[in-house]
Structure 1
Amino acid sequence: MGTPLGDFVRAKRDSIQPQTLGLPERGRRRSPGLRRLDLAARAGISVEYLTRIEQGRDRNPSVSVLNCLADALSLDAAERGHLRYLAKITGGACPSHTRPAPPRRDVRPALLDTLRLLEPGIAVVTNRLGDILARTSGYELLTDGTGLLDSDTPNLTRYVFTDPRARTFFTDWSEVADEQAFDLWLGPSIENAEWLSTELAPVAGPEFTRRLNLHVVPQRGVLRLNHPSGHELRLTRETLDVTADAQQLVVYLPADERTAEAIAELRGYGRGERGARARGGLRAIS
């Protein structure tokens, strides 16, 4: 049985073409990418040891081995951080005799006060599982009519993979799906991530499990949305990690003047039910 660390190393090895590292072609082979022999030589470890890591039979490689693997795979800073994180959860993993449970959903009053200061801007408090824990009226306005907030306990990851409307709402749905799947590895705990993955796998199918095991660090560029009002929105995301709570505060900002004008129009649209709802202020999920 493999491990997240072994899966990541193998996925990165398979994604590298030997010629990009100045290595000679060694004839046709059944699988793409870098050979174990070449990666082991670059990292200064034995092929047998690399095989044990990839297959999950060695769960505790030293820091020096991790650094050598990172150098040999030419990992960037974000990928190196992911490698270290996977090594941590792989080494600390042990069989659990209790049923995995969802994480806590409460948000500290101080964080709610911070979110309130951002009104009427577009901001949300989430965890890495995608649970939407609190949001501003601006976030409600942004997602109005998309179905994202229809549930009493809205979850962005579940929405992306199980609600057909998500594929219309997110212009670059594939990139957003990669982001949400990757973030499960950074969840409040490995047990929490297992809980959501187990729940999603049967309904989301191979589209979800394939992305979960890609271990590709997402770029998180401009978020493009097709708003139900007909507006095409482009937003940048500023994320503040609240490490102690395993949560994050995400603020969405217009990426261009056209988007800024569209959001202003949405805020001023009507003075009826939607307008009243947008002026209703902060909403926290309990």
Structure 2
Amino acid sequence: MDNRDAVSAFLRSRRERITPEQAGLPVYGQRRVPGLRRGEVAALAGVSVEYYTRLERGNLKGVSDSVLDALAQALRLDDTERMYLYDLARAAGPAPRARARQREVRPAVRPSVARIVEGMPELPAFVMNNRLDTLAANSLGRSLYSQMYADSTCGANVARFAFLEPAARRFYADWERMARFAVGALRIEAGKNPYDRELSNLIGELSTRSDDFRVMWGSHDVHVFRESTKRLNHPLVGVLELDQETLSLPDETGLSVVVYSAPPGTAAEDSLKLLASWSATTGQDQHTESASEPSDRHL
């Protein structure tokens, strides 16, 4: 997947959201374009109009770090957007075929990591990749996300669940916020790995099947999920306000362990214990489910 369209759309969307007043520029007369003009961005970044026009057409190949820094400052990018711009520039480098071949190898969940996840029976725990596939989950994790796993036998994808499963809009107390974070996370991954065919297929599927995803994707926003608390509305135990911790696995490409917990003495702790008891009593998903491939079924 060539990233020139992504580069062009991202730079244009960031330019159009900044007013001259925000950039400290004088305003004369009526303006015909939203945000800044290309020439104004070029002046703020210290490059020629011709050079910036080349960048906004999607050509970041060979751009120096100093120019990227100046561009990020001119466009008032936050830390996440700045890193995304750098990822786009790195992805514009040479040897796309080598990178494409490298991305076809899917990281597997090591048995030791699966044991750690399964060894936390009182806490919902998952192993996820940067495409938001859940590659492993313990029993309580699968019970917590029972609606997501309902049509899956070897893993599920959080983005598919959020946008294609109507129950997700009830499950997430703030569905829109969660959905935007999912879109932003996929865009970050697309910036890093534009030649990941599975990611391209996922984005294409969601764009085709979900109007909400298509609109959010078109905003070109990027997000890193930093929220430590998540409110979920479980069909069995009701509303749960849980703390979330995401731990990156340093030896695994793009894999993280996600763990939920409830503060002691809270109603959420009681509800989580009830859910754990129900899961153990019914024998639902007694073993950690791991998958080297995500489910092909749409959740």
TMscore range, shorter length? 0.7 to 0.9
Q: Deviations over 1:121-170 (max 9, x none)?
A: 111111111211000112112112x2444212411111112111111111
In structure 2, the partner of 1:209 is 214
**Structure 1 233/212 Cα, relative in aligned 2: closer, same or farther at 3 Å?**
same
| Percent of matched pairs sharing the same residue | 33
Match for residue 108 of structure 2 among 106, 109, 112: 106
1:200 aligned residue: 206
Pick the aligned partner of 1:29 from 28, 31, 43: 31
Structure 2 equivalent of residue 124 of structure 1 = 126
Tell me the CA shift for residue 268 of structure 1. 3.2
Q: CA deviation at 1:69?
A: 0.9
Q: Which AA in structure 1 matches 2:260?
A: Y
TM-score, length basis structure 1: 0.84
Q: Distance in 2 between matches of 1:83 and 1:239?
A: 24
Q: Give me the whole-angstrom Cα distance separating, in 2, the residues matched to 1:52 and 1:270.
A: 57
Query: Cα gap change, 1:13/1:270 in structure 2, threshold over 3 Å: closer, same or farther?
Result: closer
Distance in 2 of aligned mates of 1:72 and 1:141: 47
- Higher RCO, 1 vs 2 (CA within 8 Å, ≥6 residues apart): 2
Match of 1:186 in 2: 189
Which amino acid is 2:217 matched to?
Answer: L
Distance of aligned partners of 1:215 and 1:235 in 2 relative to their CA distance in 1, 3 Å threshold: farther
Query: Using the alignment, how far apart are the partners of 2:119 and 2:78 within structure 1?
Result: 35
1:173-223 deviation per Cα after TM superposition (whole angstroms, max 9, x unaligned): 22222222222232684323212223333222x432332343323263232
Give the CA deviation at 1:66: 0.5
Matches within 5 A, 1:78-97: 78-92=80-94, 94=96
Q: Which moved more, 1:228-237 or 1:123-132?
A: 228-237
* Distance in 2 of aligned mates of 1:29 and 1:137: 58
Distance in 2 of aligned mates of 1:150 and 1:277: 14
**Kindly tell me: are residues 234 and 23 of structure 1, through their superposed partners in 2, closer, same or farther at Cα, counting changes over 3 Å?**
farther
Deviation for aligned residue 1:255? 6.2
Between the aligned partners of 2:245 and 2:95, the Cα distance in structure 1 is: 32
1:4, 1:90 within 8 Å by CA — same for their partners in 2? no
Structure 1 position 15 matched with structure 2 position 17: yes
The one-letter code sitting in structure 2 at the alignment partner of 1:110 is S
| C-alpha contact 1:161 1:177 (8 A) present in aligned 2 | yes
**Rounded Cα–Cα distance in structure 1 between residues aligned with 2:275 and 2:222:** 33
Instruction: Tell me which residue corresponds to 1:60.
Output: 62
Q: 3-state SS of the aligned residue for 1:34?
A: coil
CA distance in 1, matches of 2:224, 2:108: 29
- Which structure 1 residue ranges, 5 or more long, are not aligned? none
CA distance in 2, matches of 1:23, 1:166: 45
3-state secondary structure, aligned to 1:17? coil
Counterpart of 2:246 (choices 239, 245, 253) is: 239
- Residue 10 of structure 1: SS of its match in structure 2? helix
Matches within 5 A, 1:197-276: 197-204=203-210, 206-218=211-223, 220=225, 221=227, 222-229=229-236, 231-242=238-249, 244-254=252-262, 257-269=266-278, 272-273=281-282, 276=283
Cα distance between partner residues in 1 of 2:175 and 2:122: 26
Unaligned ranges ≥5, structure 2: 293-299
Determine if contact 2:60/2:89 at 8 Å carries over to the other structure: no
In the TM superposition, what is the alpha-carbon distance from 1:270 to its structure 2 partner? 8.0
Matches within 5 A, 1:100-179: 104=106, 106-144=108-146, 146-152=147-153, 153-179=155-181
Compared with structure 1, are the counterparts of its residues 38 and 267 closer, same or farther at alpha carbon in structure 2 (3 Å cutoff)?
same
> Deviation digits for residues 43-68 of structure 1, max 9, x if unmatched?
11112211211111443321111011
